[in-house]
């Protein structure tokens, strides 16, 4: 039997086990199929009788390595995630094989959205806005087109309050509430829409200080984990300066990345890389349509960076140039933006982080309009998809004092 045939037989067997379990659970739920991320009792019993359950570790690693190499992009990459959801041993080996986005340029598990983007190149995403429900959806682009069917990554819901506006960010497009175990953070604005704070629901690094606010205490009533409670950990501060030219001029942005040291943009610099979501148990990962992963262990031995005493990374929007023929402000988006909008921006490292050099010209985050309620979002190291999405959400908010 060829290796390809062996892999196909293994996929078919696990696929039939999963489909059988889904049918039985759907019947018990009254006809509504339940999206499950973990292998339940029915699958476990079937797996124990399977010829794949007792594979020697060396052979299993070789099989999983070849699957990871062959299924490099979505939707076929779901096979890699499926392998991580089989059992603890499969999950452990798969997690060792799959590399972080910084190196692989791939988003595989949910924690990938909290990890820095690739150093070499960008991850190309797009955002769909629903004006009626005031929701925003982040997708990973699957082709070279500006927007396609995409692969769902994150969702956000706008919540207006008397003195501020919150954008709640979730891993599940159908549940964007704070009490959900798919809630991962939020963006909060001031009344004028000129200052924003990005909060992570989980500690971004060792020694992170939770914000003492009423919303943090409310979240505490519905903890994702009694060991590491969800809360408000500030990871970024965004400010928009007064635009003296009004709507005719570009906005001026400033982003202070609390969880990223300024040295991260230098040659050989390092940024924080989270390895796990702090959940309470190995089998408690939520049902997430995008990943369907069962990874939920905290690796206490993994070294974490502490940036409390280091200078923080500051990002600023790249200054556009006035085009005499077009009579407008222009930036080179390299074909990724097609509609002029005051929301369009490119972020680069500020001169505050060091002397001006070529590194400051490297675009770290790019956001722009390509259609009605459709926008592209491209990001790279050292910021993550979660941080990028939150920064882009700030551009949607009304800015009374800037326009």
pLDDT averaged over 10-residue windows placed end to end, the chain, 403 residues: 58 54 42 41 55 76 89 87 84 91 93 94 95 96 86 95 93 90 93 91 75 49 45 91 60 91 90 74 40 37 52 90 78 90 90 57 93 95 97 84 54
Question: Can you give the pLDDT at residue 244?
Answer: 52
Integer Rg of the chain from CA: 22
CATH class of the 114-209+229-269+310-395 domain in this structure: alpha beta
Cβ density class 197-217: b for 16+ within 10 Å, e for less: bbbbbbbbbeebebeeeebbe
Cβ-Cβ contacts under 8 Å for 79 (sequence gap 6 or more):
11, 67, 71
Residue 389, SS3?
helix
Return the pLDDT at 47: 53
Q: How far is CA 218 from CA 178, 213, 230, in A?
A: 8, 9, 10
Question: What's the pLDDT score for residue 272?
Answer: 82
Residues 6+ apart with CB under 8 A from 273: 100, 102, 115, 116
- Helices marked H in 212-367: 214-220
* pLDDT of res. 82: 87
Q: What is the pLDDT of residue 223?
A: 42
For residue 148, give the nearest of 131, 124, 169 by alpha carbon.
124
What are the boundaries of each domain within the chain? 51-98, 114-209+229-269+310-395
pTM score: 0.79
């Amino acid at each position: 039997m060829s290796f390809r045939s062996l892999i196909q037989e293994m996929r078919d067997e696990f696929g039939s086990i999963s489909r059988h379990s889904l049918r039985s659970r759907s019947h018990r739920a009254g006809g509504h199929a339940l999206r499950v991320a973990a292998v339940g009792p029915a699958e476990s019993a079937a797996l124990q009788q399977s010829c794949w359950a007792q594979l020697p570790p060396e052979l299993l690693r070789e099989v999983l390595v070849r699957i990871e190499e062959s299924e490099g992009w979505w939707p076929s990459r779901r096979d890699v995630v499926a392998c991580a959801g089989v059992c603890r041993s499969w999950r452990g080996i798969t997690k060792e094989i799959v590399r972080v986005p910084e190196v692989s340029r791939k988003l595989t598990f949910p924690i990938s959205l909290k990890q820095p983007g690739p150093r070499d190149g960008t991850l190309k995403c797009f955002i769909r806005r629903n004006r009626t429900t005031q929701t925003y959806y982040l997708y990973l682009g699957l082709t070279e087109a500006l927007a396609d069917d995409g692969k769902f990554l994150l969702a956000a819901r706008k919540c207006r309050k008397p003195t501020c506006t919150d954008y709640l960010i979730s891993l599940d497009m159908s549940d964007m509430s704070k009490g959900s175990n798919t809630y991962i953070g939020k963006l909060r604005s001031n009344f004028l829409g000129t200052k924003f704070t990005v909060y992570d629901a989980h500690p971004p690094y060792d020694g992170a200080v939770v914000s003492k606010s009423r919303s943090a205490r409310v979240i505490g009533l519905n903890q994702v984990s009694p060991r590491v409670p969800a809360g408000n950990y500030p990871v970024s501060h965004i400010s928009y300066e007064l635009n003296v030219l009004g709507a005719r001029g570009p906005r001026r942005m400033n982003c202070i990345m609390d969880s990223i040291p300024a040295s991260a943009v230098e040659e050989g610099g390092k940024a924080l890389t989270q390895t796990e979501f702090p959940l309470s148990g190995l089998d408690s990962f939520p049902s997430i349509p995008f990943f369907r992963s069962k990874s939920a262990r905290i690796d206490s031995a993994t070294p974490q960076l502490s940036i409390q005493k280091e200078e923080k990374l500051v990002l600023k929007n790249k200054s556009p140039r006035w085009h005499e023929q077009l009579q407008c402000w222009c930036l080179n988006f390299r074909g990724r933006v097609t509609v002029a909008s005051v929301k369009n921006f490119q972020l680069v490292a500020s001169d505050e982080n060091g002397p001006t050099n070529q590194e400051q010209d490297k675009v770290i985050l790019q956001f722009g309009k390509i259609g009605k309620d459709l926008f592209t979002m491209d990001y790279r190291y050292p910021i993550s998809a979660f941080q990028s999405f939150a920064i882009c959400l700030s551009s949607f908010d009304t800015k009374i004092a800037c326009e």
